[in-house]
């Protein structure tokens, strides 16, 4: 058994301990880095980003790992977002760029959660902002949540998703979002 004294926010589900390394995983902190995007805070306290119509490129970015501590190369980042067409952000590439900068393109996966929500995640290959590339066509993209996991925890999250326990690989630090959240 691996000792995890340095980790915060552990969660147990059926004997599985999972830790989200994001310190502010609920989208309520503004991005620390943006490229070609503007931002606004929603009434929910979450932050939204878009590529303005006046911007000359069709894409922009915002960093979403929000106070992540302990994430190293080989770890995993997940962005949960809402927008008009969530399928626009589930592919592994945005034109010539990886969907999440500083990640391994071939490890990128994602999916549509509902008609307005989606998620995308990938394995970290480099430090830095690890921002998500968003197309102008997506309009306002709201950061609903972010997660950062060790490889071991990522594999456990995927197992929970594949078995139907979770709809997407994200935990908010206090609950698992199953039918509105289940306290652990």
Flag whether 116 is in a domain: yes
- Pairwise pLDDT comparison (136 vs 10), residue with the higher score: 136
What average pLDDT score do residues 52-60 get?
94
Confidence at residue 181, expressed as pLDDT on a 0 to 100 scale:
40
Flag whether 181 is in a domain: no
- Pairwise pLDDT comparison (107 vs 68), residue with the higher score: 107
Strand ranges, E, within 70-152 = 76-82, 93-94, 97-98, 109-112, 117-123, 131-135, 141-149
State the residue range of the domain holding 54. Answer: 10-173
pLDDT at 14 over 60: no
Flag whether 179 is in a domain: no
pLDDT at 60 over 90: yes
Instruction: Tell me the chain's radius of gyration from C-alpha atoms.
Output: 16
**97-107 tens-digit pLDDT:** 778 888 888 88
Q: What is the 3-state secondary structure (H, E, C) of 7-26?
A: CCCEEEECCEEEECCCCCCC
The count of structural domains within the chain is 1
Flag whether 5 is in a domain: no
- Pairwise pLDDT comparison (104 vs 46), residue with the higher score: 46
Confidence at residue 39, expressed as pLDDT on a 0 to 100 scale:
97
What average pLDDT score do residues 39-68 get?
92
Q: Report residue 184's pLDDT band, with 50, 70 and 90 as the boundaries.
A: very low
- The tokens for 10 are 């552990």
Judged by phi (left if over 0) then psi (alpha if -120 to 50, else beta), residue 77 lies in: beta
Flag whether 103 is in a domain: yes
Rounded-to-integer distance, Cα 102 and Cα 98, Å: 8
Flag whether 2 is in a domain: no
Flag whether 87 is in a domain: yes
What average pLDDT score do residues 154-167 get?
86
Flag whether 178 is in a domain: no
CATH number at residue 125: 2.60.120
Residues 167, 110, 122, 127: what is their CA dihedral angle, to the nearest 10 degrees? -100
């Amino acid at each position: 058994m691996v000792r995890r004294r340095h980790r915060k926010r552990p969660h147990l589900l059926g004997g599985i301990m999972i830790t989200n390394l994001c310190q502010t995983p609920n989208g309520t902190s503004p991005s620390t880095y943006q490229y070609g995007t503007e931002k606004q805070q929603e009434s929910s306290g979450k932050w939204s980003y878009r590529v303005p119509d006046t911007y000359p490129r069709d894409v922009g970015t915002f960093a979403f790992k929000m106070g992540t501590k302990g994430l190293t190369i080989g770890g995993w980042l997940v962005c949960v977002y809402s927008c008009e067409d969530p399928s626009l952000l589930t592919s592994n590439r945005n034109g010539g760029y990886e969907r999440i900068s500083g990640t391994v393109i071939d490890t990128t996966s994602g999916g549509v959660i509902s008609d307005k929500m989606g998620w995308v995640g990938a394995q970290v290959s480099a430090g830095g902002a690890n921002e998500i590339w968003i197309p102008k066509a997506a309009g306002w993209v709201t950061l609903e949540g972010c997660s950062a996991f060790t490889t071991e925890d990522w594999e456990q999250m995927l197992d929970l998703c594949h078995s139907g326990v979770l709809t997407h690989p994200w935990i908010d630090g206090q609950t698992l979002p199953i039918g509105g959240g289940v306290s652990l």
